[in-house]
Amino acid sequence: VNVKLKFIGIAKETDEAKQLEINSISFDQESASFSGLAEGMVFSTDGQTWKEYKPNNLPVLESGSSIYIKYPETATHYETDYIKFTKD
């Protein structure tokens, strides 16, 4: 008896609204402050290790350092593209 199995994966979608939120984040170089951040976002200083964003848990950016921000993957949606800011 020959049996063929077909894997049917869970369909995920991109979340365009969340990507728009990411794209609208801004960074003020003088005060080193952000606007447009929201809970549920994650951040990284190396682009590899991600931490959940919560008010007041972002690192202080020194000159030349960068931060990446995105929404993570969920059971129903792919992760968003990240946005990168570098302190002058």
- CA distances (Å), origin 55, targets 2, 5, 22, 37: 57, 47, 16, 9
User: Mean pLDDT, consecutive 10-residue segments, the chain of 88 residues?
Assistant: 67 92 97 95 97 93 96 95 97
Q: What is the pLDDT, as a whole number, of residue 7?
A: 63
Q: How far apart are CA 37 and CA 18, in angstroms?
A: 11
